[in-house]
Structure 1
Amino acid sequence: MERNITLEVITDGNIEACRDLCNELMAFQKSQATLAPEAFDAMNFDTRMKKGFESALESQVVVVKDNGVPVGYVFSTIDMVEGETNAIPDWAPVKDPSTAQGFYPDWVQFPQKIGLLNNLYIRDDYRDLKLGSQLFNMSIDWLESHADVDLIFIYISNGNDAALNFYLNRGFTYSHEVFGGFIKAVYKEKKTWVF
């Protein structure tokens, strides 16, 4: 069958088309993890994407389909981040919470709205089509279009160096290790955005 690729922004709030893809992403992250891969056992569509989508101030989900079948997606949110949001969650594989860095570095001023590129995933058979770059660009364009957002963060699971390099090569700056290295954080500030 010939490919018929479409990129669709979900506007009706029904993100169910991403369920299998999100679960595949969580399994992929577990397979790549060198630190606490078992922590991914509790991560799935319901605990990660659906929960984040429902709690976000604003969100955007773009799904890539081939002949109507979802083969990739990007999920982005705008959240109001308070100081206590930076606490170490129960699921984090941290031995000593008093020494572990949370999601945000010390220089971030709270409260403020922060943009997040939460998930970006493309199935293997479609990665050579540069769909990841298209989804990334759509996400960043949407995040940067919010005048009251000065920071964008992306969190990369440990062991996924290809994703880390993907974001670093697209203008993001390495920030810090989250939860003792379980996650790596990269960011971009509004002053570096090009309009």
Structure 2
Amino acid sequence: MGSITIEVIQDGNIEMCWPLCDELMAFQKSKASIAPEVFDTMNFDNRMKRSYERAAESQVVVVKDDGVPVGYVFSTIDEINNRQSAIPEWAPVQDPAVSKGFYPDWDCLPSKVGTLNNLYLRDGYRDKGLGSKLFNLSMDWLESFPDVDLVFVYVSNGNDDALNFYLSRGFAFSHDVFGGFIKALYRTSRRK
């Protein structure tokens, strides 16, 4: 490891995360026991870029080693007035009557939520505290919005290390997304 820097992308140029996002999809596929082939249809364009462009607010924080991106965290503030729109075209189940989408069917679900969408570090950069730093930066940003009291994170099936990471940081299980393809976790804002 060389000189490690952590920087917030200010200019909207998230393309530097393209290879990392695609690596994340391959990593998730390697862990998955439910529909691993679905990850073949997921990539930077239809996952990160689309979410970034559609979100009410977005933040991307990148870890660089000697100027080369080696990890990132991507977070959004989303308006969820239309829960049907929460089912993307890559989803293994398209019928919401058969399977829950990203958001639970709580009666008290707010119209605006925070989401920690992706947190990824290349092999060799894990277990060095960088994931915790990225997580904390994301949560600080998400919880800085006074009208966002609920934060979601979604963990792909088979990624037990990530699941345990988020559970140890105050998240709780909400529901299975698309029949267990993804686990939805949530936590209320610590601002309160």
| TM-score, structure 1 as length reference | 0.92
Aligned-partner Cα distance in 1 for 2:66–2:39: 31
Aligned CA distance change for structure 1 residues 134 and 100 (closer, same or farther; 3 Å): same
Q: What residue is the counterpart of 2:106 in the other structure?
A: 107
Asked if structure 1 preserves the Cα contact closer than 8 Å seen for 2:113 and 2:150, the reply is yes
Alpha-carbon distance in 2 for matches of 1:105, 1:52:
19
SS of equivalent residue, structure 1 residue 98: coil
Distance in 1 (CA, whole Å) between partners of 2:96 and 2:54 is 25
Q: Give the partner amino acid of 1:31.
A: S
Report 1:1-195 matches (<5 A).
3-85=2-84, 88-94=87-93, 97-107=96-106, 109=108, 112-190=111-189, 193-194=190-191
Cα distance, 1:87 vs structure 2? 5.4
The CA deviation string for residues 103-145 of structure 1, in whole angstroms up to 9 with x for no partner, is 1111154661110000000011111311000000000000001
How far 1:82 moved relative to its partner?
1.4
Greater share of residues in helix:
1
C-alpha contact 1:83 1:111 (8 A) present in aligned 2 = no
Question: SS at the partner of 2:126?
Answer: helix
What is the deviation of 1:86? Answer: 5.7
CA 1:116–1:108: 2 relative to 1, 3 Å = farther
* SS in structure 2 of the partner of residue 26 of structure 1: helix
The answer to which of 108-117 and 82-91 deviates more is 82-91
Q: Which shifted more, 24-33 or 87-96? A: 87-96
Alpha-carbon separation, structure 2, partners of 1:121 and 1:177: 22
Identical amino acids, percent of aligned pairs: 67
Unaligned runs of 5+ in 2: none
**Distance across 2 between alignment mates of 1:54 and 1:159:** 28
Partner SS state of residue 125, structure 2: helix
Give, in whole Å, the separation in 2 of the partners of 1:110 and 1:123: 35
Give the whole-Å Cα distance in 2 for the aligned partners of 1:4 and 1:27: 27
Gaps (5+ residues) in structure 1?
Answer: none
CA distance in 2, matches of 1:19, 1:165: 26
C-alpha change, 1:47 and 1:89, in structure 2 (3 Å) is closer
One-letter amino acid of the structure 2 residue matched with residue 130 of structure 1: G
Which amino acid in 2 is paired with 1:76?
A: S
Deviating beyond 3 angstroms after TM superposition, the runs of 4 or more aligned structure 1 residues are 83-90, 108-111
SS of 1:73's equivalent? Answer: strand
For the residues of structure 2 that align with 1:135 and 1:108, how far apart are their CA atoms?
Answer: 32
SS of aligned partner of 1:152? strand
Q: For the residues of structure 1 that align with 2:38 and 2:171, how far apart are their CA atoms?
A: 26
How high is the TM-score relative to the length of structure 2?
0.94
CA distance in 1 between counterparts of 2:44 and 2:150 reads: 25
